[in-house]
Amino acid sequence: MLIARLIADVDEVKTRYRAVSEELALAGIKAGRLGFLELGEKVAQISAEGADRVAFREILERHFAAPVGMIADHEIDLPNLFISDMDSTMIEQECIDELADFAGLKEKVSAITERAMQGELDFEDALKERVSLLKGLPETAISECLEQRISPMPGARMLVQTLKSKGCQTVLVTGGFHHFADPVAEQLGFEHVVGNRLAVAGGKLTGEVEGPIVDSSTKLAVLREEQAKISDCTVLASGDGANDIPMLEAANYGIAYKAKPKARAAASGWIDEGSLTSVLELLGIPESDWVQ
């Protein structure tokens, strides 16, 4: 049994549901009854038997203009572990791109970042190349960048705090840097942080990364490690780039937030527009329970 939840135009969903049911039937898929969560008929729920996730999603997306949705292979429960990427997911920026602007290299570094997030470049090689370009930048530029350039994604703190209020453990895992991730995690309420470290000597960046690189395999490993600590663990993950794909695929609910095409296709959920509070709506958490 697959269960889809969609945030879409209610009238469109009601009007086109028969056509969806008919197309599903032609594909050998039995559609369940159309329902709406008790959130003011905002979130539609459709179940299907005999479907694979890809076919089910293709049919739904062909008929509904749903900028927010999620498909699960079981009844949707509240997660007790939330693990998330940081850059362009929990914050609006890519930290290394903004930091590079202080060195007059934003355009060059941003181009490498974009290709890495699209999955066109090896993440570790791309990270080392970008960091090497920052050699000699004063360490003080990091705090200036953090203060002047870095802002939370709309709804990020409310999402984290609400999940915590429901007993969910929260982990921020990033291919970015602790210099940024630690204060961001404190601001949003994450309990644990995993990230890379910029090497500094004599008050300046050395152009190197200290220790092992946090990449896609690290993100997956962190998910597995944290999952093993919690009995009957239900995992929610969010991310936007190619290096988030293994983590998104391994989660019970993997949400691609305004993501690159490969990450969006791999995830079980997607948010193409709007606030991160859409995750709370997909989980069926009423707004009265959201932690302001």
Q: What is the pLDDT of residues 141-200, one digit of tens each?
A: 999 999 999 999 999 999 999 999 999 999 999 999 999 999 999 999 999 999 999 999
Do 224 and 235 form a contact (C-beta atoms < 8 A)? no
Q: What is the pLDDT of residues 97-136, one digit of tens each?
A: 999 999 999 999 999 999 999 999 999 999 999 999 999 9
- Res 41: pLDDT: 82
- Res 241: pLDDT: 96
11 is catalytic: no
Which residues on adjacent β-strands are paired with residue 118? Answer: none
Contacts of 219 (CB under 8 A, 6+ apart): 83, 85, 173, 175, 194, 239, 243, 244, 246, 247
Task: Read off φ and ψ for residue 145, nearest 5 degrees.
Answer: -65, -45
85 is catalytic: yes
- Res 89: pLDDT: 98
Tell me which residue of 191, 184, 190, 248 sits closest to 216, measured CA to CA.
248
Determine the average pLDDT of the residues in 247-265.
97
Instruction: Point out the catalytic residue in the list 9, 11, 73, 85.
Output: 85
- Res 63: pLDDT: 94
User: Would you state the structure tokens that stand for residue 48, as one six-digit string?
Assistant: 């299907």
- Res 137: pLDDT: 97
User: Would you state the structure tokens that stand for residue 117, as one six-digit string?
Assistant: 């997030």
- Res 40: pLDDT: 74
> Cα–Cα distances in Å, from 204 out to 134, 137, 176, 197?
9, 5, 18, 13
> Cα–Cα distances in Å, from 164 out to 156, 167, 283, 289?
12, 5, 14, 12
Q: What is the pLDDT of residues 265-286, one digit of tens each?
A: 999 999 999 999 999 999 999 9
Instruction: Point out the catalytic residue in the list 9, 87, 244, 272.
Output: 87
- Res 39: pLDDT: 80
Average pLDDT, the chain: 96
DSSP state of 91: B
Q: What is the pTM of this model?
A: 0.95
Q: Please, where are the H alpha helices in 118-235?
A: 123-132, 140-149, 156-165, 178-188, 216-228
Determine the average pLDDT of the residues in 8-18.
93
- Res 51: pLDDT: 78
